[in-house]
């Protein structure tokens, strides 16, 4: 029984009615030139579209020479798509008529909805009610429309139509769509689909990523985003397809001022820019800075191999453009590849004596066509270069077109990225055309070429993040967590900030070391605590109203005697009363004085849009001044934790040391982040948490101070587990023990990224016959990426259950059962395979029953699977379990079970 590629539960069914309709109704079609209704209908009946188009207008018997209908109900044929361009207040009535007439695809170009305020929002709510009751898919409102260039569909009121191509373009901004169409016409860029989504009350970015992700016409996906409204859904869709089809996005609102403009423009809440950066990275999406970068990037990522690093070799016949490229490269964090001695000697043999003998490689303005090619062929042999950029300036003897042909010829010698920049316009137009036609990207400026190379690096790094197997760090809260539950739930119905000792106890329950704080409510108690700890000590004010103790000078360090303790106690209390008279001072905390190491911060907050978000960076009193933070999303594993550390400016000092101070133990930092992440996963009640400073040195990581704010508002009413997360955590609810025929116990559990090496061992146990029965063909050496794809799954979209049997030396992976949820969200395809050494023990039957049970618990209505006719064991199991068996051809059956 085999598993096929999957869709998702995000509901992309029905989008064919929008993008591939045979019959279209235009509601609001008009004879008045200059109106949206006129342009929309005119574009649809123009050259290209092979289907039928019906104008709907109750006030005109014909529109632009075509018989009109007063309502969609009066159209005597079944319509697939309705494009609506009426005033906003009429739209719900029109949509209801469409639903009653069986029209399931809707595009609403009308404005006057959520962007106008409460009245418009109420109209959107009514449209959503109609969508649910009639099973509609709606693009818009307030959008330009949609195009499918290959079929000639132009359901927009744009002045230009898109040319056919391989890029799917999606934008929230209709105005930007018009600009992109104009630019694309001049740049000769084509599109597989061109979509303006507008207000996105239904069809959103995630739906379209799912749709274009399985579309054979689409090679890459380009997004212009003002706000992501359902981050969890977007993350799920993007992570599934980013590895096979590059997804490139421009997100507006980088500055706080820009974010406010975006909010008023779209009616959506703009998130913080740093969160979006991390969000896109975790989703495998490349974030471009400018609209022009979108298409350079999409073209390159779908045509060129990914670089393994950021070192670039630049070949040019003019020094000035090379300097521009170098400046841009360094500014973006890249570097010039160091030329090896062997490469220098080879170049010496073909270049003038006065050449620079360095990178960039200036081959001089008198360079011939052949010199360009020979230099490039030599540079391809340099192991230090991760990619190559050829800059041509029309100043010398080399003809631009012939030079391009020579570069194409030389390019067959490399598997590294190759980019070109042919400066000029008319004289180099043909050269650019043949370079692109040969799969070699060309950029108009050196800076854009360098930006594209660095975006390629970003894409490669994002994919590594998706597929790199992490080291397993098992996190099991201590038994003390049970005694802390009353404290955690004490904020029921409101908010409460835990005291420093309470916060530290919670951290310790998750295995994060702390400088244990002793509470002292009198000076005598403070002296006793200091004596027990041992001098020197640190003392801090204890008050629920004091959020940041250093703001009121509420911390005193290096206290070395009983007398100092008494004096400091009085001083801390006096300072709190003077600086914050309303504060309820409960005393002080006394803790060991720990010095040395690096002061860091780890923290979390519950963002209204993205849920729980993690931070890591430089800590201490200057945390808000330095603003050195990286952002991540729980749950973290060891790899993700390391990437968060690497993304901070503190990483270099932490990994290399500074001024004689040894480097920090990065492994312990990763573990602390993973443990902190698990705390946030387990407790949606945590609204904010700061561990600052977190002290790290070569052999320890210790939380010196901590503040955790609990808030149960809205948490108890959540309807889905881990609603505060945008990435589903490991589903421990699917762990189970099953007893096999001989009394042997099998552990069944969901797969996880750390299982990759064990999956390799399982595949090695498959005979050719087992492979044919499961995969319908024999698999040779399976790639790391394929293995990673099996192990790195989105638990919202699919489930792979592995079985483990206890053997000498520990547990051994013996089989796996898979379930992929289909695009309708109601059915799933199942598959089971058991390694040859463990067959005929009843393990396959147990796994088959369990994966069906998992499908039922996920809310599916049916499961199905394809079975080879000669797979008699699986045919027998399916028949016994009540599956209906339908013969598809001589060799295959389809088995289906209603749940």
Per-residue pLDDT of 430-458, as tens digits, reads: 999 999 889 999 998 999 999 999 999 99
Question: Model confidence over 224-272: pLDDT tens digits?
Answer: 999 999 999 999 999 989 988 999 999 986 655 444 444 332 223 334 7
- Asked if residue 412 and residue 358 are part of one domain, the reply reads yes
pLDDT in the model for residue 222: 96
pLDDT value of residue 185: 87
Are both 125 and 244 inside the same structural domain? Answer: no
Check residue 788 and give its pLDDT: 81
Tell me if the bond preceding 693 is cis, omega within 30° of 0: yes
Alpha helices in 62-117, H assignment, sequence order:
91-100
Q: With respect to residue 805, please indicate whether it lies within any of the assigned structural domains.
A: yes
In this prediction, residue 471 has a pLDDT band, given cuts at 50, 70 and 90, of low
Within a domain: residue 7? no
- CB neighbours of 612 closer than 8 A, spacing ≥ 6? 604, 605, 606, 633, 634, 680, 681, 684, 686, 724, 725
Q: Is 807 exposed, middle or buried (0-12, 13-18, 19+ CB in 10 A)?
A: exposed
Q: Are residues 504 and 638 in the same domain?
A: yes
Cα separation, 96 vs 72, in Å, equals 10
- The per-residue pLDDT for 554 is 92
What total number of domains does the chain contain? 6
Specify whether 712 is located in the same domain as 850: no
Residue 163: the pLDDT is: 95
Query: What's the confidence (pLDDT) of residue 299?
Result: 79
If asked whether residues 217 and 253 sit together in one domain, one would say yes
End-of-domain residue from the set 111, 142, 173: 142
- Confidence (pLDDT) at 400: 95
Higher-confidence residue of 1 and 363: namely: 363
- 677 Cβ partners below 8 Å, 6+ apart? 614, 632, 634, 635, 636, 641
Which CATH number is 873's domain given?
Answer: 3.40.630.30
Task: Choose one of 729, 751, 772: the last residue of a domain.
Answer: 729
Report residue 103 as tokens: 């029209």
Q: Which residue has the higher pLDDT, 653 or 786?
A: 653
Assigned domain for 604 exists: yes
Place of tokens 């010095």: 595
Does residue 753 sit in the same domain as residue 797? yes
Rounded mean pLDDT of the chain?
Answer: 89
Domain of 69, CATH number, reads 3.40.50.720
pLDDT number for residue 748? 97
Q: Are 168 and 245 in contact (CB under 8 A)?
A: no
Residue 441 sits in the same domain as residue 323: yes
Give me the pLDDT at residue 261, please.
Answer: 44
- Span of 69-83, 328-342, 442-456, 623-637 with lowest mean pLDDT: 623-637
pLDDT at 626 over 90: no
Query: Is residue 2 assigned to a domain?
Result: no
Domain shared by 457 and 346, yes or no: yes
Whether 883 is in a domain gets the answer yes
pLDDT digits (tens, 9 = 90+) for 277-307: 999 999 999 999 887 788 878 878 878 888 9
Percentage of the chain lying above the pLDDT 90 cut: 69
Tell me whether the omega of the peptide bond preceding residue 360 falls within 30 degrees of 0, making it cis.
Answer: yes
Domain assignment present for residue 870? The answer is yes
Q: With bands split at pLDDT 50, 70 and 90, how would you rate the model's confidence at 711?
A: confident
Same structural domain, 42 and 110: yes
Let me know whether 569 and 495 are in one domain.
no
pTM of this prediction? 0.86
Q: Would 210 be classed as within a structural domain?
A: yes
Query: In whole angstroms, how far apart are CA 237 and each of 284, 635, 729, 793?
Result: 10, 18, 16, 11
pLDDT of 829 strictly over 80? yes
CATH number where 268 lies = 3.40.50.261
Q: Are strands 81-84 and 105-108 parallel, antiparallel or unpaired?
A: parallel
Percentage of residues in the chain having pLDDT higher than 70: 92
User: Who wins on pLDDT, 500 or 720?
Assistant: 500
530's CB contacts (< 8 A; 6+ apart) are 537, 559, 562, 565, 590
Is it the case that residue 483 has pLDDT exceeding 90?
Answer: no
Please calculate the CA angle 586-587-590 and round it to the nearest 5 degrees: 135
Paired tokens of 720: 């889905």
Indicate the pLDDT class of residue 1, thresholds 50, 70 and 90: very low
Average pLDDT over residues 152-164: 96
Question: Would residue 414 count as lying in a domain?
Answer: yes
Q: 671 or 187: which carries more pLDDT confidence?
A: 671
* Per-residue pLDDT tens digits for 517-533: 999 999 999 999 999 99
**Mind giving me the DSSP string for 596-655?**
SSEEEEEEEEEETTTEEEEEEEE-STTHHHH--EEEE-SSP-HHHHHHHHHTSTTHHHHH
**CATH value at residue 564:** 3.30.1490.20
- C-alpha–C-alpha distance, residues 171 and 145, integer Å: 10
- The whole-angstrom separation of Cα 294 and Cα 628 is 28
* Average confidence (pLDDT) over 20-34: 97
Residue-level pLDDT at 264: 30
**Cα–Cα distance between 376 and 389 in angstroms, integer?**
9
Boundary residue ending a domain (560, 588, 616): 588
**What tens digit of pLDDT does each residue of 635-686 get?**
998 889 999 999 999 999 999 998 888 999 999 999 999 999 999 998 888 9
Give yes or no for a cis peptide into 347 (omega within 30° of 0): no
Question: For 878, phi and psi rounded to 5 degrees?
Answer: -60, -45
Query: CA 549 to CA 571: how far, in whole Å?
Result: 14
Q: Which of 258-262, 329-333, 624-628 has the highest mean pLDDT?
A: 329-333
- What pLDDT shows up at residue 360? 96
* Whether residue 877 sits in one domain with residue 749: yes
Closest-CA residue to 157 (of 66, 30, 265): 30
- Residue carrying structure tokens 């050259």: 47
Residue 8 has a pLDDT of 34
Residues 288, 363 share a domain: no
Residue 696, classified by CB atoms within 10 Å of its CB into exposed (0-12), middle (13-18) or buried (19+), is buried
**Measured between alpha carbons, how far is 793 from 787 in angstroms, rounded to an integer?**
11
According to the model, what pLDDT value does residue 489 have?
Answer: 67
Which domain does 546 fall in, by range? Answer: 521-588
């Amino acid at each position: 029984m085999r598993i096929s590629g999957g869709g998702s539960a995000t509901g992309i069914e029905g989008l064919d009615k929008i993008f591939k309709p045979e019959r279209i109704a235009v509601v609001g079609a008009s004879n008045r030139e200059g109106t949206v209704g006129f342009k929309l209908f005119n574009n649809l009946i123009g050259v290209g579209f092979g289907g039928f188009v019906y104008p709907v207008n109750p006030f005109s018997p014909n529109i632009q020479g075509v018989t009109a209908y007063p309502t969609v109900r009066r159209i005597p044929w079944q319509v697939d798509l309705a494009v609506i361009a009426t005033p906003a207040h009429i739209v719900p009535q029109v949509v209801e008529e469409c639903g009653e007439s069986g029209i399931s695809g809707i595009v609403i170009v009308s404005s006057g909805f959520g962007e106008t305020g409460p009245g418009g929002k109420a109209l959107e709510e009514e449209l959503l009610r109609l969508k649910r009751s009639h099973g509609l898919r709606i693009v818009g409102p307030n959008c330009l429309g949609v195009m499918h260039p290959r079929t000639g569909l132009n359901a927009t009121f744009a002045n230009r139509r898109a040319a056919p191509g391989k890029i799917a373009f999606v934008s929230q901004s209709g105005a930007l769509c018009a600009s992109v169409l104009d630019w694309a016409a001049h740049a000769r860029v084509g599109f597989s689909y061109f979509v303006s989504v507008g207000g996105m009350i239904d069809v959103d970015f995630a739906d379209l990523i799912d749709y274009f992700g399985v579309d054979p016409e689409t090679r890459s996906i380009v997004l212009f985003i003002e706000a992501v409204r359902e981050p969890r859904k977007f993350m799920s869709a993007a992570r599934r397809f980013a590895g096979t089809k590059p997804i490139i996005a421009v997100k507006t609102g980088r500055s706080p001022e820009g974010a406010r403009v975006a909010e008023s423009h779209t009616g959506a809440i703009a998130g913080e820019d740093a969160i979006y950066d991390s969000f896109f990275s975790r989703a495998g999406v490349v974030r471009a800075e400018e609209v022009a970068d979108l298409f350079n990037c999409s073209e390159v990522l779908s045509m060129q191999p990914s670089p393994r690093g950021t070192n670039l070799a630049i070949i040019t016949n003019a020094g000035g453009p090379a300097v521009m490229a170098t400046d841009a490269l360094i500014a973006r964090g890249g570097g010039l590849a160091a030329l090896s001695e062997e490469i220098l000697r080879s170049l010496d043999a073909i270049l003038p004596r006065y050449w620079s003998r360095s990178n960039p490689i200036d081959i001089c303005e008198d360079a011939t066509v052949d010199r360009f090619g020979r230099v490039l062929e030599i540079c391809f042999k340099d192991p230090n270069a991760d990619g190559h950029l050829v800059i041509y300036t029309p100043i010398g003897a080399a003809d631009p077109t012939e030079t391009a042909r020579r570069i194409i010829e030389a390019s067959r010698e490399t598997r590294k990225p190759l980019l070109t920049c042919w400066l000029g316009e008319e004289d180099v137009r043909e050269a650019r055309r043949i370079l692109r036609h040969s799969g070699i990207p060309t950029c108009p400026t050196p800076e854009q070429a360098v930006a594209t190379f660095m975006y390629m690096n970003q894409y490669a790094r994002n994919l590594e993040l998706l597929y790199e197997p992490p080291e397993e760090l098992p996190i099991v809260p201590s038994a003390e967590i049970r005694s802390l539950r009353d404290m955690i739930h004490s904020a029921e119905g409101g908010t409460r900030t835990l005291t420093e000792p309470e916060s530290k106890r919670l951290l310790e329950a998750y295995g994060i070391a702390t400088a244990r704080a002793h509470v002292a409510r009198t000076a005598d108690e403070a002296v006793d605590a200091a004596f027990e700890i041992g001098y020197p000590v640190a003392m801090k004010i204890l008050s629920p109203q004091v959020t940041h103790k250093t703001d009121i000078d509420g911390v005193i360090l290096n206290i070395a005697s009983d007398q100092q303790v008494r004096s400091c106690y009085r001083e801390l209390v006096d300072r709190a009363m003077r600086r914050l008279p309303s504060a309820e001072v409960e005393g002080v905390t006394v803790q060991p004085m720990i010095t040395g190491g690096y002061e860091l911060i780890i923290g979390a907050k519950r963002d209204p849009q993205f849920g729980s978000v993690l931070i890591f960076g430089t800590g201490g009193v200057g945390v808000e001044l330095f603003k050195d933070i990286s952002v991540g999303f729980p749950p973290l594993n060891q790899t993700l934790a390391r990437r968060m550390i690497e993304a901070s400016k503190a990483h270099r000092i932490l990994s290399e040391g500074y001024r004689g101070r040894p480097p920090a133990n990065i492994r312990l930092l990763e573990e602390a982040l993973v443990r902190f992440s698990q705390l946030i996963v387990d407790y949606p009640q945590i609204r904010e948490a700061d561990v600052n400073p977190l002290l790290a040195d070569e052999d320890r990581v210790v939380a010196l101070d901590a503040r955790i704010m609990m808030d149960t508002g809205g948490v108890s009413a959540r309807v889905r587990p881990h609603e505060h997360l945008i990435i589903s955590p490991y589903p421990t609810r699917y762990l189970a023990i099953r007893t096999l025929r001989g009394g042997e116990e099998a552990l069944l559990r969901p797969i996880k990224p750390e299982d990759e090496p064990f999956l390799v061992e399982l595949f090695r146990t498959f005979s050719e016959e087992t492979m044919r029965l499961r995969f319908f063909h024999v698999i040779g050496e399976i790639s790391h990426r394929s293995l990673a794809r099996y192990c790195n799954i989105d638990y919202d979209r699919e489930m792979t259950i592995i079985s483990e049997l206890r053997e000498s030396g520990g547990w051994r992976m013996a089989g796996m059962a898979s379930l992929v949820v289909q695009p309708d969200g109601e059915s799933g395809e199942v598959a089971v395979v058991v390694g040859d050494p463990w067959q005929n023990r009843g393990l396959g039957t147990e796994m088959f029953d369990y994966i069906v049970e998992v499908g039922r618990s996920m809310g599916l209505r049916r499961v199905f699977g394809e079975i080879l006719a000669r797979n008699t064991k699986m045919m027998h199991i399916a028949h016994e379990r009540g599956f209906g068996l339908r013969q598809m051809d001589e060799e295959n059956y389809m088995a289906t079970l209603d749940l």
